[in-house]
Amino acid sequence: MSGEKKYILCYTREPNEEQAYPPKLAYSMHLACSDDGYRYRELNRNSGVLFALATEAPNGSLRPKSLKNPYLFDLADGTFGVIAVCTEAGGEDDIESKGSVLLFKSADLLSYREIGLLDLKGDTYVRDAACEFDRANDRYVVRWSDGNGRFYRNSIEDLMDLSGASEPEEAEAFTVEGVSADIEGIAPRNSLPVPRDVADRLERKLTAPTNIRNEAPERVEAATDEQLRAVPATSFYSDGTTAEKPVDWDTTGIDWSRAGSYRITGKIRQPRSSFPMAVDRADPCIAKWKGKFYFIATNDADGNRSLSIREADTISGLATAEEVRILDTETYGHLKSFLWAPEFHAIGEDLYLFHAGSTGEFVNIQSHVAKLKKNGNPVVATDWEEPVRVVRRDGSPLFEAGITLDMTIIQWKGRVYAAWAQREFVPSDLGSWIYIAEIDPKEPWRLTTDPVLLSKPDYGWANNRTFVEEGPYALITDKKIFMTFAGALVDATYCVGILSADPEADLLDPASWTKGNYPLLTSRSVPGEYGPGHNSYVTDEDGFIWNVYHARNGIDGPRCAGLRRVHFDIDGYPVLDLTEEKDLKPELAEVSTVVVVNR
């Protein structure tokens, strides 16, 4: 049995300081793995993987929820179920969940579907619950207790029928034996034996990979330095993934005029970027235009009153490049404050600057687009046309009951889409939600379809201290269309979530997009970087994709721009927390090959 099974422990955590691990993060289901059922390794950096969804109030606002006392069990079809006590966001009794437990289903313990509240038909708050499938009677049995110390038992044939449970019967007391594990803040629950392949996959997905070796081809045929430079090495990682990387080959021993075999060595080339790349720069974006790289970001140093640009031949050169101001709040009468979240996007033969700005007050912030004049230079302020406010297809303002910001572009299969954050204030503050629409590629400030809601801050990690999802940005691969976004208050709990869609999907259909249950990047991801978020992506001259993001260099430090290579996991999903030390170990960077020169 030990060779066929591993053990997965589910648990919550004790909340601590508000900016470190508050209730909305602590009261979620966490996972740990064990080979023997005794010694457990935390997964996902001891962060939650399953959060309760918020419910919707009559005015459209969200009522955040949390969960306590999760219980993990096998479903009859070979998948997994979780029941948990649904609470208010801070862990208090939830009147909406009285007499019920929250039910989830998962095929792999990575992606979960919230089925809803399973009615146990009790007029009391559930304090603890467990569930098992009774194969002899082909029914599920739910055991639970209330706050008065009473214990009950329900049976149900179809667990997905949320109202199908029997009337509760008083039953003998039960306890869920929590497993002892040396994990920070753990409030342990039950452990479940699972197939080894399921547990191994969990560990590969929920543990940051490490570079374990690098290999170059044993033999290559080449006639010139240029041909040899195109020969990459392959980096291998602990999760079973690989990445091709360029090599700086030492060719001093090769005589290209004579046929023969030459053994040479080389060093894998991977640019490095220390954090922070730029202090007091948030919402950063890097774009390539006509052979050069350009960096732009929100300027926190002057209260968000100007936008400046850096130009360099390489991405690494942007760290020390001179900044040139191209827009400030004195330039135009309709942009007097809050110059936020600038992004460069090339559409066809033209370059555009998307950004937010206000006529004066916070409640007047709106998305704008400026076009670079024909043959213009991006670092010359006068070469940019006046920013235009984004409008709907009939020419009316994009949104007047609140603000719009963080507009970005997705170009796919000849069509151009805009995604942005929108916050309604009238008649009620609903928080920041993410929308998408198709736009006119010749006038990208004009929508050609109506806006479609993609995502709300319905998980605790996205509505911590405020209800915000913002900063969407697309990352397109041959497997998926990804859209990462930022959530929560812009403090140490700020984080990066993800939406994904299939390449053939209708991007304007919300059902085409799948939202991750947990964030990809948090303050727990990389030591010393707090509140990472509002990121973008750029591909360098070697084909590396870089995550351009901001984080704080201390829990209360300023927002700073940073860079880190994007890795891709066993399913092709982006890994954003692969640090330089794990990505390419210096002692493994040298590789060798035999070059065959034929003449």
Residue 466 class from Cβ within 10 Å (0-12 exposed, 13-18 middle, 19+ buried)?
A: middle
Could you give the CA distance from residue 314 to residue 507 in angstroms, rounded to a whole number? 33
Q: Which of 17, 44, 24 is nearest to 524 (CA)?
A: 44
List 343, 406, 470, 529, catalytic entry? 470
- Known catalytic membership, residue 383: no
Buried b (16+ CB within 10 A) or exposed e, 330-361: ebeeebbbbbbbbbbbebeeebbbbbbbbbee
CA distances, 582 to each of 43, 290, 576, 578 (Å): 17, 33, 12, 6
CA distance 566 to 502: 20
**Tokens standing for residue 176:** 């869920």
Alpha carbon 304 to chain centroid distance? 25
User: Measured between alpha carbons, how far is 469 from 482 in angstroms, rounded to an integer?
Assistant: 15
Task: Determine the residue type at 445.
Answer: W
Indicate the pairing of strand 590-597 with strand 219-221: parallel
Identify the three-state secondary structure at position 201: helix
What long-range pairs does 169-172 form, CB within 8 A, spacing at least 24? 171/143
Alpha-carbon span 593 to 599, nearest angstrom: 19
- The separation between CA 387 and the C-alpha centre of its own chain, rounded to angstroms, equals 30
Q: Which of the residues 128, 283, 311, 343 is marked catalytic?
A: 283
Amino acid (one-letter) located at 452: V
Distances (CA, A) of 86 to 124, 127, 131, 189, 247: 13, 10, 15, 15, 53
Can you list the pairs that 392-399 forms with residues at least 24 positions away whose Cβ atoms lie under 8 Å?
Answer: 392/446, 392/447, 392/450, 392/451, 393/446, 393/447, 393/448, 393/449, 393/450, 395/446, 397/366, 398/366, 398/367, 398/447, 398/451, 399/366, 399/424, 399/451
What count of other Cβ atoms lies within 10 Å of the Cβ of residue 147?
Answer: 10
Amino acid at 459: Y
283 is catalytic: yes
Element (H, E) at 193: strand 186-195
| Rounded Cα gap, residues 240 and 211, in angstroms | 10
**Residue 303: count of CB within 10 angstroms of its CB:** 11
Alpha-carbon distances of 216 from 249, 320, 329, 338, 581, rounded to whole Å: 11, 33, 53, 50, 20
- Please state, in angstroms and rounded to a whole number, the distance separating the CA atoms of residues 550 and 293: 18
Q: Which residues are catalytic?
A: 283, 470
